Structure 1
Amino acid sequence: MIELAAQNATFRILLLLAVFGVVAGLSLLGLSYANRRLTVRDQLGRLTSGPALVPGQSESLRARESKTAWSQLAAAVERAGLNLADTKNERLTALLKQAGFTSPSATRIYTLVRLMLIFVLPLGYIVLAYSSDEPVSFLKVYFIGSVLALVGLYLPNLYVRARADRRKEAIINGFPDCLDLLLVCVESGLGLEAAMDRVGREMVNSHPKVAELLMITVLQLRAGSSRDEAFRKLAEESAVDEIRAFTTLIIQSDKLGTSVATTLRVYAAEMRERRQMRAEEKAHRLPVLISIPLVACMLPTMIGTLMLPAAVLMVRNIFPLMSGG
């Protein structure tokens, strides 16, 4: 390894970068551990001293949780003069919420990550290209650097959309079970709020996304929000058509005075039927999907196997006759 490091400049750079990464990671772990201990000690000191809360200066728990390293970095960049606000801020905020990023600074962090990737990926390739012994043409570096910049620009968007799709799929798959449990709880005598609380606690491990939506709605109801407002916020947070229809049914049944148990029973049966139809649709797509590797991989092999004996006979018998042998 020492001889390889002495002969190859690229290997030396990669080795130095690996050593730097290990040392920096260990240093960050040590600093984070010390910072955590200092933070806990400071909080304990504040609790024991018992300072009076000054109006307008108290900090909420949500604000404390949102103070991450990325948010502080984004705030520092904005203080330096670079505006990280997106022109389509509302649409981007909705997309990030669908992906599970509910922090107030999520849009700024998203823009900051895109800007960093635009410069980091091409610079990394340029360093690796010019550290090698072979000369690299300028056009090749320019072309690959431009492609990497475009990848860095669109990669966060693809990641956020893929995460939003996975979250939506998890909610759709777990919501029929949630309705069945809600129906059981309501028919056993619990109110809708108590039933949602019970079901949310039971589904934490099996369907955590659905449990999170239910618990947020329960907390909003306990905080004093009306049932219409809480269920409308549930539909907005989920961004799933099935939950929107469910909230609309609950609001209408509450206004008209119909039985919630009957509404849940009918909608639960409809959701089970939809889930069965989605499973049947995926099963019917399997023959079409299997035919692609079948034609691309197995069919040429089968044709070669069937035609090989005829080809051997042609080479042994027909070709010598045709050539006069």
Structure 2
Amino acid sequence: MYEFLLSFTKPETAAAWLVAVAVFGTMMTIFLPYLQGNKLETRLKAVATQREKLRKQNRAALESKSLRRRDESLVGEISSKLNLAKALEDPNVVKLMNQAGLRGPGPISAFYFARMALPFAGAGLVFFYIFFVNDHGFGTFLKYGSVIFGAAAGFYAPNIYISNLAQKRQKSIMRAFPDSLDMLLICVEAGMSIEMGFNKVSQEIGTASPELAEEFGMTVAELSYLPDRRQAYENLALRTGHEGVKAVCMALGQAERYGTPLGDALRMMAKENREMRMSDAEKKAAALPAQLTVPMILFFLPVLFLVVLGPAYIKYNQMQEKNDAAPAITQAAPSSDLA
């Protein structure tokens, strides 16, 4: 051991050890990056794996809700057995139901079942009322015409109901849409991705418009699992059915395709939608005098005439009563004098 330690004092041994340490350090410097691997590539792979995992989770969630599953309710079974979707086919029913917020096979089966059953129900109610309750003096032609009208009203009632529901939902969405674009612009300029921006805005806008929050939530899910992200924007435009939303979705799709800045597009679209909302309010205000004409004629003018002419009519009646009473008094006075 002493001899081994004594060998380090020799210049040749010390130089050999220094050369060995230098060679070892050089080798480690050269080969260590290859041993560590590419951290960036590893992280990107981890992100891709996590993204695929999230996609599978979203797909599983959607499949559990099953927008395409078969309706197993009684109405669905009847519609399926009678093949009402083919017999009473309406090409716009799916589009209208998406705009009304009714998704899945259940509402479609209920729509076709109602379209089949309501004509018979309407015709039966009108027939019972006309022939057994009160015929209003109708002739035979008018009686059967009323029955046909009841059947036609029952046939078109589901379409009218769905259209009104879609219009109300669209109005609720458009009241909050410009403000949601401003919030989305803030999120994007803060560094968030478009998915995170939609998710954040859907959470914040839910109190003002639950319908818009639902649509943004659907868009976030579709951005996660659809192979073409532009399809998610197109689906959002179809579900809302408004020109302002279509323009915004088109701008987002172009930004996704050509790589243009999202902030500029969102800022311009938010301004245009605010101006559109203001122009709609101005149109309603301009149409208000014409719409108030008939109610004023029916309800305001009769009351005004009653208030203005009522006292004059009462005064005229009092004067007439005095004039009628005066001759009776004059006739009674001479007869008393003669007596």
Common fold: TM-score over 0.5: yes
2:331 matched residue in structure 1:
none
Change (3 A) 1:108 1:188: same
Change (3 A) 1:63 1:157: closer
Of the candidates 269, 272, 287, which is equivalent to residue 271 of structure 2? 269
* In structure 1, distance between residues paired with 2:170 and 2:294: 28
Indicate yes or no: 2:73 matched with 1:68: yes
> Which moved further from structure 2: 286-295 or 169-178?
286-295
Alignment of structure 1 residues 136-147 onto 2, 5 Å:
139=140, 142-147=144-149
Alignment of structure 1 residues 148-167 onto 2, 5 Å:
148-167=150-169
2:123 matched residue in structure 1:
122
Q: CA deviation at 1:155?
A: 1.4
The one-letter amino acid paired with 2:91 is E
Q: CA deviation at 1:159?
A: 0.6
Change (3 A) 1:230 1:99: same
Q: CA deviation at 1:86?
A: 5.0
The one-letter amino acid paired with 1:270 is E
Of the candidates 177, 182, 193, which is equivalent to residue 175 of structure 1? 177
1:192 matched residue in structure 2:
194
Aligned length: 262
1:38 matched residue in structure 2:
none
Instruction: Tell me the C-alpha RMSD between the 2 structures.
Output: 3.6
* In structure 1, distance between residues paired with 2:75 and 2:67: 16
Indicate yes or no: 2:100 matched with 1:95: no
> SS of the counterpart of 1:74?
helix
> SS of the counterpart of 1:288?
helix
Q: TM-score, normalised by structure 1?
A: 0.67
Q: CA deviation at 1:137?
A: 8.7
* In structure 1, distance between residues paired with 2:69 and 2:109: 17
* In structure 2, distance between residues paired with 1:294 and 1:281: 20
The one-letter amino acid paired with 2:123 is P
* In structure 2, distance between residues paired with 1:305 and 1:131: 46
* In structure 2, distance between residues paired with 1:189 and 1:59: 33
* In structure 1, distance between residues paired with 2:250 and 2:100: 23
Q: CA deviation at 1:209?
A: 1.7
Q: CA deviation at 1:141?
A: 5.5
The one-letter amino acid paired with 1:255 is R
* In structure 2, distance between residues paired with 1:277 and 1:59: 43
Q: CA deviation at 1:268?
A: 1.2
8 Å CA contact 1:179, 1:264 repeated in 2: yes
8 Å CA contact 2:99, 2:238 repeated in 1: no
8 Å CA contact 1:196, 1:214 repeated in 2: yes
2:110 matched residue in structure 1:
109
Q: Which string of whole-angstrom CA distances, capped at 9 and with x for unpartnered residues, describes residues 187-220 of structure 1?
A: 2211111111221233334322212222222212
8 Å CA contact 2:188, 2:194 repeated in 1: yes
Question: Between the two proteins, what is the percent identity of the paired residues?
Answer: 25
> SS of the counterpart of 2:86?
coil
> Which moved further from structure 2: 63-72 or 115-124?
63-72
8 Å CA contact 1:99, 1:161 repeated in 2: yes
Q: Which string of whole-angstrom CA distances, capped at 9 and with x for unpartnered residues, describes residues 265-299 of structure 1?
A: 22212222222232233333333333332222221
Q: CA deviation at 1:314?
A: 5.4
8 Å CA contact 2:71, 2:109 repeated in 1: no
Q: CA deviation at 1:258?
A: 2.6
Change (3 A) 1:98 1:313: same
* In structure 2, distance between residues paired with 1:310 and 1:264: 66
* In structure 1, distance between residues paired with 2:314 and 2:206: 66
Q: TM-score, normalised by structure 2?
A: 0.65
> SS of the counterpart of 1:220?
helix
2:220 matched residue in structure 1:
218
* In structure 2, distance between residues paired with 1:158 and 1:311: 50
The one-letter amino acid paired with 2:208 is S
* In structure 1, distance between residues paired with 2:296 and 2:87: 47
Change (3 A) 1:131 1:291: closer
Of the candidates 233, 242, 259, which is equivalent to residue 231 of structure 1? 233
